[in-house]
Amino acid sequence: MHDADAINLATLPPRQLKEFLTNTVRPDDGFIPAYIFSHPVIHQLEMEKIFMTQWLFLAHESELPKVGDFVTRDLGGHSVIISRGQDNQVRIFLNMCRHRGMRLCRDDRGNEGAFHCPYHGFTYSNLGLLTGVPFQRDIYGDGFDKQNFGLIQAKVEIWAGLIFGTWSANPPSVKEFLGPMAWYLDLVVNRAEMEVTGPPQRWVVNASWKLGADNFVHDSYHTMYTHASIAKLGMVPAADYSKQGYQIDCGQGHGLNFGTPTPDFIFPQNLMDEYRSRLTSEQFSALSTMKNMIGTVFPNLSFLISATTFKGSRISNTTLRTWIPKGPGQVEVLAWVLTERNATPEWKEASLQSSMFTFSPSGIFEQDDMENFIDITANSRGALPLRDNIAFAYLAGLGRQPVEQFPWPGTAYDSKFLEHNARSFYRAWLKAVTSGGE
Amino acid sequence: MERLLLQYEVEQWLYREAEYLDHLDFQSWLALMAQDVVYQMPICMNVADTRSAQDYSRETFIFNDDRNTLQMRVDRLNTDFAWAESPPSRTRRLVTNVRLVEVEPEITVLCNVLIYRSRGADIEADLISGERKDVLRREGDSLKLVRRWFLIDQTTINTRNFAIFV
């Protein structure tokens, strides 16, 4: 008897690759194969089918308060400039001169009326128009129409201060894309006037982007063991602190865990009127009973509202992060901290500090999470996972009935220690990577 | 001459601190901290219009700690659940270019730091390079760290975490 050969994904024709994916990625049965977390063919497929087509979060509007402000980010593997033009409109430009493809802007952020290409000095306004070509008449005569060489733009939509971009030619509206998730995302970024506390942290680790998104979309179960040190330090009352609440499936791969009940209101008390005026009464009641909340907007935007005891008092912090694929099994994390604009400076400072102490490269939660993501990614590499079809178990809550007459949007399950949302995430993932091409 | 002796004393202090960290002797390391220590590491950014100096964020930090939170980090490392340093990284801190900037009332000192970090059986080690600006205060016979400012020479961090101290 011979051992089976490991299947070579790189030489599979598209139709067979699709078949292989459908046969091995089995969210309905609760099995997710290891190879999808690091295989180069999968990475390529994801970049093409997911990151070139979906709405992706790029920046918060408060990062671009003034006309001329810009930041540079990654959209689907391409460097883009997110610019607030002279006309106050936010646009997304491919960071590439139309003449020879040179990168126009090397800064992470700044304020510019125009972008000058370092190569030949082509100049573009912050509206994306080509406005200057050195010696244009001498060199090109009449044969060059600047109007044809404006910067390449991605589609942009701002939803509750979140700047989303996409390379898709015909995207749905962001509201449509979010579906029931919009109601919960309101609690994160729209409960009050929110602003970033500063530029995002950025770091690169050898882990699959999916493991971060997967963890945030469903996994409160890991907190008991991975984060056992936090309970030991007294920052949360007990290791199973994060069990109680709901796992809520918002469709299209979006999902969250809503921790409740709470012993106290975890947001600035002096802003009650603002919360009441911006939220519906159902949303306000959700906010009042929230202990914590964590989730993922498919594919790679995750959010967290976390409340811990820090320096003697209970304080919550709100963070957004994106998991940007950098290569097979490599991810760049961008992490922002948001606070209520009208909170007291003391509250803002304490919230920011508690966030950096828990969720950041030095954060005492985050650093242990990354260990998991890195080691799982390492184990997913090589021939064995493919040859023997090694799959991970996402079985918790399989067949469980949702909460009847749940008052909020989405499909809710009682308890956060479930793997339902992960199954939905990989269902959306499978649908995306096997779409088109017939 | 006094200045030379002080330079020597500060250098020895910096070397000893590095040794405590490299040898995982965190209790001795904490004992070097003043009660009111401020321990900070901002993120750096690419911004063209600051030609004369590295640009760093005034708002976003990787470390923004005090004596209390440094103690919590050490306490955490001493639990059985500090996975990020289990087993611990092998680190070697090279501390050089020690420059006294001010000597009174407290000592302000700049130095360059290169931290070599190796985890597990990984053959690719992380290199963390940066400049420290420290303020030291004389308390009795010893010098205590009142303020640390670590300016990292990287905008996108490529070590998996800062479960180690800088």
Q: Give the DSSP letter string of B29-66.
A: HHTTEEEEEEEEEEEEE--TT--SS-EEEEEEEEEEEE
Say how far apart CA A192 and CA A314 lie, in whole Å: 20
Task: Examine the pLDDT at A236 and tell me if it is beyond 80.
Answer: no
**Closest-approach residue (CA) in chain B for A203:** B157
Task: Examine the pLDDT at A188 and tell me if it is beyond 70.
Answer: yes
Average pLDDT over residues A182-210: 97
Q: Is A363 helix (H, G, I), strand (E, B) or coil?
A: coil
Task: Examine the pLDDT at A48 and tell me if it is beyond 70.
Answer: yes
Contact A198 B45 (CB under 8 A): no
Burial class (CB in 10 A: 0-12, 13-18, 19+), B64: buried
Residues of chain B with pLDDT under 70: 49-54
Disruptive mutation site among A108, A116, A377 for chain B (greatest number of B CBs within 10 Å) = A108
Burial class (CB in 10 A: 0-12, 13-18, 19+), A207: buried
In the stretch 322-361 of chain A, residues with CB closer than 8 A to chain B read 332, 337, 352-353, 356-357, 360-361
Q: Chain A residues with CB inside 8 Å of B120's CB? A: none
Which amino acid, residue A40? P
Contact A133, A146 (CB under 8 A): yes
Distance set, CA A318 to CA A109, A194, A262, A335, A356 (Å): 23, 10, 16, 11, 11
Contact A188, A256 (CB under 8 A): no
Disruptive mutation site among A362, A371, A374 for chain B (greatest number of B CBs within 10 Å) = A362
Say how far apart CA A245 and CA A259 lie, in whole Å: 4
Where are the extended beta strands (E) located within A89-132? 90-94, 109-111, 114-116, 123-125, 130-132
Contact B63, B150 (CB under 8 A): yes
Does a structural domain hold residue A341?
yes
pLDDT of residue A4: 65
CATH of the domain at A209: 3.90.380.10
A89: closest CA among A150, A160, A163?
A163
Does a structural domain hold residue A281?
yes
Which amino acid, residue A267? F
Contact A361 B62 (CB under 8 A): yes
Task: Examine the pLDDT at A389 and tell me if it is beyond 60.
Answer: yes
Task: Report the residue from A202, A226, A364 with minimal CB separation from B156.
Answer: A202
Average pLDDT over residues A387-415: 95
**Domain topology for B2-152:** Nuclear Transport Factor 2; Chain: A, (3.10.450)
pLDDT exceeding 90 applies to what percent of chain A?
A: 85
Contact B76 A227 (CB under 8 A): no
The confidence band for A228, taking pLDDT boundaries of 50, 70 and 90, is confident
Does a structural domain hold residue A34?
no
Distance set, CA B4 to CA A245, B10, B71, B99, B111 (Å): 63, 10, 33, 11, 16
Contact A361 B161 (CB under 8 A): yes
The count of structural domains within chain A is 2
Q: Which one of A137, A166, A195 terminates a domain? A: A166
DSSP, res A150: P
Contact A319, A355 (CB under 8 A): yes
Q: In angstroms, how far is CA A324 from the centroid of its own chain?
A: 8
Contact A232 B79 (CB under 8 A): yes
Say how far apart CA A60 and CA A158 lie, in whole Å: 9
pLDDT of residue A2: 61
Say how far apart CA A419 and CA A143 lie, in whole Å: 61
A288 & A412 share domain: yes
User: Could you tell me the two tokens for A209?
Assistant: 């982007």
pLDDT of residue A335: 96
With helix as H, strand as E and coil as C, how does A143-178 read? CCCHHHHCCCEEEEEEECCEEEEECCCCCCCHHHHH
In sign, the C-alpha dihedral spanning A404, A410, A411, A412 is: negative
A90-94: strand order across its sheet: A56-60, A162-166, A153-159, A90-94, A78-84, A69-75, A109-111
Task: Examine the pLDDT at A60 and tell me if it is beyond 90.
Answer: yes
Q: Which one of A123, A138, A166 terminates a domain? A: A166
Radius of gyration of chain A (CA): 23
Sequence-ordered list of residues with C-beta below 8 angstroms from that of B4, at least 6 positions apart, any chain: none
A94 & A200 share domain: no
Contact A99, A84 (CB under 8 A): no
Say how far apart CA A278 and CA B142 lie, in whole Å: 56
A219 & A135 share domain: no
Question: A194 has which bridge partners?
Answer: A340
pLDDT, tens only, A298-341: 999 999 999 988 888 889 999 999 999 999 999 999 999 999 99
Q: Chain A residues with CB inside 8 Å of B79's CB? A: 228-229, 232-233
Does a structural domain hold residue A121?
yes
A295 & A398 share domain: yes
A120 & A263 share domain: no
3-state helix, strand, coil in chain A (%, to 5): 30, 25, 40
**Closest-approach residue (CA) in chain B for A373:** B160
pLDDT of residue A225: 83
Disruptive mutation site among A310, A348, A367 for chain B (greatest number of B CBs within 10 Å) = A367
Contact A299, A54 (CB under 8 A): yes
Q: Chain A residues with CB inside 8 Å of B64's CB? A: 352-353, 356-357
**Closest-approach residue (CA) in chain A for B63:** A362
CATH of the domain at A109: 2.102.10.10
How far is the alpha carbon of A24 from chain B, nearest alpha carbon, in Å? 30
**Closest-approach residue (CA) in chain B for A202:** B156
Task: Examine the pLDDT at A70 and tell me if it is beyond 80.
Answer: yes
Sequence-ordered list of residues with C-beta below 8 angstroms from that of B1, at least 6 positions apart, any chain: none
A270: closest CA among A319, A340, A355, A197?
A340
Contact B156 A204 (CB under 8 A): yes
**Closest-approach residue (CA) in chain B for A70:** B47
Q: Which one of A166, A200, A216 terminates a domain? A: A166
A306 & A347 share domain: yes
**DSSP codes of every residue in B76-128:** HHTSTT-GGGSSPPEEEEEEEEEEEEE-SSSEEEEEEEEEEEE-TT-SS-EEE
pLDDT of residue A310: 85
Does a structural domain hold residue A343?
yes
Helices B67-77, A345-358: inter-axial angle, 10-degree rounding: 20
Q: Is A197 on the interface with B (CB under 8 A)?
A: yes
A151 & A217 share domain: no
Question: B111 has which bridge partners?
Answer: B132
Task: Output phi, psi for A275, to 5 deg.
Answer: -60, -45
Contact A70, A64 (CB under 8 A): yes
A122 & A192 share domain: no
Average pLDDT over residues A248-262: 97
Does a structural domain hold residue A40?
no
A233 & A142 share domain: no
**Closest-approach residue (CA) in chain B for A348:** B59
Does a structural domain hold residue A75?
yes
A200 & A273 share domain: yes
Contact A203 B157 (CB under 8 A): yes
More confident residue, A142 or A343: A343
Contact A371 B43 (CB under 8 A): no
pLDDT of residue A366: 86
∠ Cα A179 A303 A108 (to 5°): 110
The residue range of the domain holding A347 is 179-433
A336: closest CA among A322, A325, A357, A351?
A322
Write down the ipTM of this complex.
0.88
The confidence band for A396, taking pLDDT boundaries of 50, 70 and 90, is very high
Contact B158 A110 (CB under 8 A): no
Does a structural domain hold residue A145?
yes
Say how far apart CA B75 and CA B26 lie, in whole Å: 9
**Closest-approach residue (CA) in chain B for A72:** B46
User: Could you tell me the two tokens for A339?
Assistant: 């606070």
Average pLDDT over residues A250-275: 96
Q: Is A290 helix (H, G, I), strand (E, B) or coil?
A: coil
Q: Which residue has the tokens 């009326």?
A: A113
In the stretch 115-154 of chain A, residues with CB closer than 8 A to chain B read none
Residues in chain B: 166
A67 & A153 share domain: yes
A267 & A414 share domain: yes
pLDDT, tens only, A417-438: 999 999 999 999 999 999 986 5
Contact A367 B63 (CB under 8 A): no
Contact B44, B55 (CB under 8 A): yes
Q: Chain B residues with CB inside 8 Å of A361's CB? A: 62, 157, 159, 161-162
Task: Report the residue from B60, B75, B83 with minimal CB separation from A197.
Answer: B60
